[in-house]
Amino acid sequence: MMTDEGEAGFRCGAVAMAGRPNVGKSTLLNRLLGSKIAIVTPKPQTTRDRILGILTMRDRQVLFQDAPGIHRSGKALNRRMVSEALAVMEDCDVVMVVTDARDPVDDLRRDEQVLQRVAAGRLPAVLALNKVDLIAKPALLPLIDAYSRRLPFKAIVPVCALNGDGLDSLLAEVTALLPEGPAMFPADQLSDRPLRFLASEFVREKVMLFTKQEVPYSTAVGIDLFEEPDPPAVVRIAATINVERSSQKAIIIGKRGAMLRRIGTAAREEMEALLGRKVYLELFVRVERDWSTSDKGLRKVGY
């Protein structure tokens, strides 16, 4: 078989993004890809399912596995999230540990569960010290020192996922560790998830952003219709927002439907940005009592 030099030097592999909830894993993924495929909110446990973000460059393809944060909990939904997160680490080539640079340097205990997992595995690990925009420069060196003493990271890179600082170096460090091999996905594919999954996630993101207390964690979104006719016709999407109680349904609908309209408008704008097309979005709200507490409930809302 004939291969030119470019193909011979091609690298392709999977990078597990590991870290506790809310350190910025999904923000980092979107920024690395240059497209929003993973939802982001200020609330912990926003990401529930693993999602693959695919970045194709001239001579390499990186498959970033975003996953829920690793944390302890007994609830059925949370147990499922942590097992997703841990499974992600098993079949990857590299681990990218993400931490929050605001963590106290003399106490890395908050990341203990993540660091232990990485230490137990044999994958090369790179540390992305995220949110450096929120700390003073002099705090950085002691932090890097503390992490490098904790685990033999191949590299520790201070980054800001919000403004993109440090991401070029991070990408260079990570891709250098990928095995040689051909691309596994077409160059224009962004994710392994179908568009209808991303659409349901955008609706859930807006619910999480606009509602408080337990409502974000009681919400699951299913897509009932996803009709993508040839351009320039409008893409038609219908989704059901499942909640656990009728009081939550009332909150999501809001006064004279104001909240549901706000959720719908914001979610539709995200869908239009991703698809590059006009979208017509219809939303329904349904009560599925206590769905998040049992495996049966999870199945009822589509998990």
Ligand X SMILES: Nc1nc2c(ncn2[C@@H]2O[C@H](COP(=O)(O)OP(=O)(O)O)[C@@H](O)[C@H]2O)c(=O)[nH]1
Q: How far is the CB of 52 from Mg ion (least distance, A)?
A: 13
Residues that bind ligand X (CB under 6 A): 19, 21-27, 40-42, 46-47, 69, 130-131, 133-134, 160-162
Q: Which is nearer to ligand X, 12 or 144 (CB)?
A: 144
Alpha helices in the chain (DSSP H): 5-8, 25-33, 76-90, 112-120, 140-150, 167-175, 195-210, 246-253, 258-275, 295-300
Closer to ligand X at the Cβ: 161 or 199? Answer: 161
Residue 222 CB, nearest approach to ligand X (Å): 22
Contact status, residue 170 vs residue 130, Cβ threshold 8 Å = no
Tell which residue, 202, 220, 221, 210, has the closest CA to residue 269: 202
Query: Given strand 220-227, what is the order of strands in its sheet?
Result: 220-227, 235-243, 279-287
Stretch that binds Mg ion, among 9-17, 19-27, 112-120, 276-284 (CB under 5 A): 19-27
Q: Which is nearer to Mg ion, 130 or 285 (CB)?
A: 130
Q: Alpha-carbon distance 34 to 31, whole Å?
A: 5
27 binds, among ligand X, Mg ion, none (CB under 5 to 8 A by kind): ligand X
Which residue, 26 or 248, has its beta carbon nearer to Mg ion? 26
Q: Which does 42 bind (CB under 5 to 8 A by kind): Mg ion, ligand X, none?
A: ligand X
| Site for Mg ion contains 99 (CB under 5 A) | no
- Closest separation in Å from C-beta 161 to Mg ion: 11
Residue 58 CB-half CA count within 13 A: 2
Residue 74 contact partner, candidates ligand X, Mg ion, none, CB within 5 to 8 A by sort of partner: none
In this structure, is the dihedral angle defined by the CA atoms of residues 287, 292, 294 and 300, taken in order, positive or negative?
positive
CB 288 within 8 Å of CB 303: no
Site for Mg ion, residues 22 to 51, rule: CB under 5 A: 25-26, 47
Comparing CA positions, the residue from 73, 65, 57 lying closest to residue 25 is 65
| Residue ranges that bind Mg ion, judged by CB under 5 A | 25-26, 47
